[in-house]
Amino acid sequence: MAGSTRTAIRTIFCTRCSTLTTPPGRVRPNIAFYNSGWFHDVIGVAQRTTDRTERERLYSQAQAILAADVPWVPLAHSKVVFAVRNTISGLVVQPSAIGLYRWAERAR
């Protein structure tokens, strides 16, 4: 699972996520106000495991829990536009609409 997906799940649905991802003094995000002990336990174990296969299995399980509960349904999604000259290549736009310019280069 991509890092942005993990971040999105934690930001939108997780209250009891690891304190490693939340700076001291800050409230942990949970913008959907979702409360499922089973989901939070699975996410917590996924955050702590170092085994990639196990972590992917756990995040898949967490996604299945969310799909069954359907705690949040987005009703709209904005369209993100990036204007780039035809001399620029390598711009990567993530699903979160963040542009990654690390690989962008200008044609000579």
Confidence bin at 67 (pLDDT 50/70/90): confident
Q: How is residue 47 written in tokens?
A: 């955050």
> What per-residue confidence (pLDDT) applies to 83?
79
pLDDT digits (tens, 9 = 90+) for 75-85: 776 777 777 88
pLDDT tens for each residue of 36-51: 889 888 988 988 889 9
pLDDT of residue 1: 46
Q: Kindly provide the b/e burial profile for residues 14-29, where b requires at least 16 CB atoms within 10 angstroms of the residue's own CB.
A: bbebeeeeeeeeeeeb
Please say if the pLDDT value at position 90 is more than 80. yes
